[in-house]
Structure 1
Amino acid sequence: METIDELNLISKRVNFGNSGHGCDVKHDVPAVFFSNGGYTGNVYHEFNDGIIPLYITSQHFNKKVVFVILEYHNWWITKYGDILSHLSDYPAIDFRGDNRTHCFPEAIVGLRIHDELTVDSALMQRNKSIVDFRNLLDKAYWPRIHGLIQDEEREAQEKLRKQMSSSPSSESEPESESPQKQEYIIKQKVQENPLKKPKLVILSRDKSREVTNENSMVKMAEEIGFEVEVLKPDRTTELAKIYRSLNASDVMIGVHGAAMTHFLFLRPGSVFIQVIRESSLYEKYDKNDPVLRDPQSITKKGWEFTKKIYLDSQNVVFGLRGFRKRLQHAQ
């Protein structure tokens, strides 16, 4: 709470006809006040403490609502702008940076939260659920994804066009194809989709909780019959690109951490595998060390101590034999 600005509410009767209490901006829709402080910058907290509660609190306004933000960050607006535009028709207001007097007919101060990464349909108007939240993500990211696909198709067509024009076989043909037919052939080749394999996305890490035998895991998954994509998102990775990869996947796997929050981007019915065991700590500590035998005694020493040992100082080794069975089952 130390990193969240305090907002004082004062109840008073005001006559807005009095020039001394005029409105610089008069709104005819409600406001929702919330903070971008706390642990913003960590994708888990951005969704758990921010985006999902914002959806819960504001979706019933059908976009006729203004967001007033404490600890306003331009990068956050840029990162989540696609989602915000599907929750509000109006630009967000920087509470500290905008010195005008704004008047609203109604205001909600703070966000409602149901549970971790949860939308409880029993508490929502019209029984909205996490599926509805994911549908909103789909609407938010699809225009950008569509643009990415078009760009890639244009690049592929241009590459194929150059290959066809420089091919020796094309020079030996007595009659070249018409430009229209050539263009049709190029588009067909670009859009050709061989028998589709199930797709596995591995959320990769470095620095801490890194999978030390990741290459072996990729090779094994490909042998089983998966198309494998190794995804290593960071704070600058565009969310639409992450959404595109995971939305197209059948299985997502990764080591416990904030990035696993991206499981929200999976299609319903996809398989989600989160790894929390088989730690490299077994190689660093004696089997009777409290780090292994009594983790609770370690966590009692505080978050920083716990984080240093269990999050920052360990890597993960996959037991490939057991993991093969799980992948075959997921397939």
Structure 2
Amino acid sequence: MGQIREWSVKMVAENHQNLPRCSGGDQIHDAPAGVLFSAGAYFGNYFHAFTDVLVALFVTAHPFNREVVLLVTDGKPVHVDKFKTLFNGLSRNMTPMEFEFRYPTIDIDKAGRPAGNPRCFSRLTIGLKGRDGKELSINSEQSEYTMADFKRFLRSAYSLKRTTAVKLQTGDNTLIPRLLIISREKTRIVTNVGEIENLAREIGYRVTVGELDDDVSKTAEFTNGFDVMMGVHGAGLTNMVFLPEDAVVIQVVPFAADWVSGAYFGEPAEKMGLRYLEYKIGREESSLMRQYPPDDVVFTDPASFRWEEFSPIYLQNQNVTVDVTRFKPLLVKGLELLHE
């Protein structure tokens, strides 16, 4: 845990004679509470930012109804700034009638102790709660919130317009569902995206293909406009948190990556009120067939590899060529789900 900074916290009664002079000359921050949390470790990874920090931050800070100061430690500014809109949704930074930040998020590493004085709070939560060991999940024993609540919070924080996916009606051809195909350019590339795009259009989708923007606010608004999202297992699928309710997520599962794909996106999607479908890549659709002989342990016993061996083979060095004939029923099923 070398990336996690240690902090000293001292509890003092408010009327104690040794109450220190607090930063800014005030006895305590005017916010009813503060939350100190780390944005270190894997926060720079988009998926891990959500599953390790942001979901738990929601569980921890949301009960204060925005009357809270967020104190961030260990975070790189470029990573923290990426989620400033989300932070603003948890802390009353600015309201339409205010022209200054009331409870600005504080980079505690950078801000330190103004004038050498400690920061004082009447109530301070140290660390985050709500994690249960599963990905994109909330521990029901620690919180009454659900992942559906988290999605609703994001819809409010990012001012997303669509609450539910399109509801198709038999015989009504005026509604055309929108399909987002997330493309990848470095790892786990779909080599025949064009074929899938053409097939989806023939079936009845309006299709958009592309990588998502680094600007989370733009990505949230963009993603919210789709009814179906499709992509190979990867961080881009994390953006399903911005899809409207009852939207469909189609995950293309690389060969041998069943367990990690289901845990990262399959189970969470259903808890968010989304419909989930998956397409498992066969060995003949995998680029691994050109790298290893058919009887290699890579194909015969993938479970024998430790994670540090598994990831480079199956996640970092595997591209896929989807069999569109075999994939077609999944696209059709997506349309059927939008009829329900």
Classify the TM-score, shorter chain. Answer: 0.7 to 0.9
Deviation at residue 217 of structure 1 after TM alignment = 0.6
Q: Give the conservation status (yes or no) of the 8 Å contact 1:120–1:130.
A: no
Distance 2:226 2:316 in 1: 29
Instruction: State the distance in 1 between where 2:298 and 2:10 align.
Output: 50
SS at match of 1:215: helix
2:39 aligns to what? 36
Instruction: Determine helix, strand or coil for the equivalent of 2:159.
Output: helix
Is 1:6 the counterpart of 2:3? The answer is no
Equivalent position of 1:183 in the other structure: none
| Matches of 1:221 and 1:317, distance apart in 2 | 16
Q: Does 1:227 align with 2:210?
A: no
Q: Is the 8 A contact 2:3 2:74 kept in 1?
A: no
Aligned match of 1:116: 135
Q: Paired residue for 1:27, among 26, 29, 45?
A: 29
| From 51, 54, 58, the counterpart of 2:57 | 54
Shift of the alpha carbon at 1:221? 0.5
Q: Cα distance, 1:269 vs. partner?
A: 0.9
Relative distance call for 1:196 and 1:240 in structure 2 (3 A) is farther
What secondary structure is seen at the aligned counterpart in 1 of 2:158? helix
- Answer whether contact 1:72 1:95 (CA < 8 A) is retained: no
Q: How far off its partner does 1:17 sit?
A: 4.3
Shift of residue 265, structure 1, vs aligned partner: 1.3
Q: How far is 1:18 from its partner?
A: 4.2
Corresponding position: 1:91 with 2:104: yes
Residues 116-148 of structure 1: per-residue CA shift (max 9 Å, x gap): 212355642xx33222211221122227x89xx
- Give, in angstroms, the shift of residue 56 of structure 1: 0.5
Distance 1:197 1:120 in 2: 37
The residue identity in structure 2 corresponding to 1:328 is V
Contact 2:23/2:113 (<8 A) preserved: no
Distance (Å, rounded) in 2 between the aligned partners of 1:122 and 1:3: 29
Q: CA RMSD in A?
A: 2.3
| Residue identity opposite 1:326 in structure 2 | L
Instruction: Answer whether contact 2:181 2:208 (CA < 8 A) is retained.
Output: yes
Q: 3-state DSSP class of the match of 1:202?
A: strand
Q: Is residue 296 from structure 1 mapped to residue 310 from structure 2 by the alignment?
A: no
The reply on whether 1:307 has 2:311 as its aligned counterpart is yes
More helix as a share of residues: 1
Q: Give the partner amino acid of 2:250.
A: I
Percent identity of equivalent pairs: 34
Give the TM-score, by structure 1 length: 0.76
Please list the CA deviations of residues 60-118 of structure 1 after superposition, one character each: whole Å capped at 9, or x if unmatched: 00011111111133223321111111101111222222223211011111111233212
CA distance in 2, matches of 1:128, 1:313: 38
**Counterpart AA for 2:128:** L
Aligned length: 275
User: Which secondary structure does the structure 1 equivalent of 2:222 belong to?
Assistant: helix
**Which residue number corresponds to residue 231 of structure 2?**
254
Q: TM-score, normalized by length of structure 2?
A: 0.74
What is the alpha-carbon distance in structure 2 between the residues aligned to residue 293 and residue 116 of structure 1?
A: 28
Whether the aligned pair in 2 keeps the contact of 1:249 and 1:266 (CA below 8 Å) is yes
- Matching residue's letter, 1:257: G
SS in 2 for 1:68: strand
Is residue 330 from structure 1 mapped to residue 337 from structure 2 by the alignment? Answer: no
d(CA) in 2 for partners of 1:270, 1:228:
15
